[in-house]
Structure 1
Amino acid sequence: RSNRQLKTKKAPPKQVQKKVLKPKGTIDKRHPKFTIIDSGRKSFRRSTALKSAATQHRLKQLNEAKKHKKVVVKTEEWIPTQEELLEEALETEKENLKSLEKYQKMELEKKKTRPTKRTFTGPTIRYQSVSMPLIEELSPVIDALGIKTEDDTGEMDIAMKFKTKRKTANSRAAAKTGPRVERTFITFENDIDNKVFEKYFPVKRKDAQKNRICPITHLPARYVDPITKLPYRNLGAFRIIREGYYRQLEEKGNTENPAIAKWLQWRKQMKDQRQKTKAQKS
């Protein structure tokens, strides 16, 4: 063996890299690997800005309102005692009695000086407009059937009964479904001797003595028959005129009219009864 010493090989030393110091103020810009595109970011920021501005405006208004608001100073309420309340009640009672006396005096003075209402007793004109159902007017021949002759027994005329029934039936039918008419009434009240009526509605008066002679008695007539329009002197003349009128109805009356037919039948029965009573008496 040789006295050689083996030397081990050492690795070379590592080179340490020194950090390069950058001057202050420079910022290292790092670019991201990917970007996020946020489309609603700007609109979101705008809405928040508007809301914050609105809140600030509201707060400002509240602060101004607080400044202008009146400061209410709280004061302690005075609570009266029972004695004080009784004294106050006595004073109010005295004042009320004085005001009552004053009011009574005023009322007495008013009664003394109160004018009395003047009641008008002269003629008055009343205007009245009403609505009523349309009723059919009956002919004057039917109206004439209701008048009694000299030999009537006092019973109600059959034709008169029929006329009233017909009137009521017409009025009921017109009230339900028939047409209605307007009627105006002008009433003259407390008009003595019709002076006011003749003033507003003058009537040309005919000669009163003309055609006023009774055709039965040949004397000045006192009345006028409303059916035949003939003047008559007394009740006897009136009955003779009506009897002639009824005979004309028997001869020339319209028998197709049910009212006239019933009246003629009733008159015939009455004549038969009179003849029987005369025969029995004789």
Structure 2
Amino acid sequence: MNVKIICDSSCNVPDAYLNSLDILQVPAWINFADGSSLRNQVDITTAEFYTRLAHEKHLPTTSQPTPQDFIDAIESVDAAQIVVATVSSKMSGTHNSAVQAQSLLPDRNIHLYDTLSASMGGGWQIIVGAEAAAQGADAAGVLAAMEASRDRVHTILTIDTLKYLAASGRAPMLQAMLGNLLNIKPMLAVQQGTLELVDRARGRKRSKRALVEKMQAAVGSRPLRVALINANIPDEAAEYAAEIRQALNVQELIIEELGPVLGTLAGPGALAIAALIAD
């Protein structure tokens, strides 16, 4: 059965997987104070985004792909069955855009999937689905594979500064000032489709150690496919990867940049571990 998987860019699927598994990505929009609206990975790369972010006086905003963006993507492929997977509907309006696109294309065989996660927490689910499709699964089989992987994905991150959350209105300025003053690094985890504060640590070194310890507690010694997501700190991420390999039973490890949607909120210096318990 001919199945095509479409995802949005907030799921952070690396280019290598997009290409090798023939996954079509629909970009989110990044809106700057000068009035420009750019498509992630089309008009601006993630690296270019962070370079520009460092020099912007006003924090950019992000917008989910529109229904028309999804329609254009769907109409660009001739697959008999299409699976559209999105970032969590509890974090973004992206899934709703896909729902609207589906309703406007009644003659296409479109199946929607809500990852209930973000970045590579959703990306791993999409990769699992695409691997199933590559092995001949139909849309029902792809959806079943993704659903089976959802509870096997654990995602946790630490933020280096609350400045960007505060600027976006997601955290009170007083809380941001206090956090920076005390060098407190919050840790958040994806839980039931939302990002929840799960702990705090004082200092960068402690927060990174705590991140690994929390992942150890969640997955034990089970074999893992690990994505280490970083916000514009590739050298630090490469060093941290060695620590992760020592602490966890890593079968596969990839290092990827945090996309602009979460990067706008988390800010430079954020680190996330998204681990999929392997079959």
| Structure with higher strand content | 2
Higher RCO, Cα 8 Å, sep 6+ = 2
| Structure with higher helix content | 1
TM > 0.5: no
Greater Rg over alpha carbons, structure:
1
TM-score, structure 1 normalization: 0.18
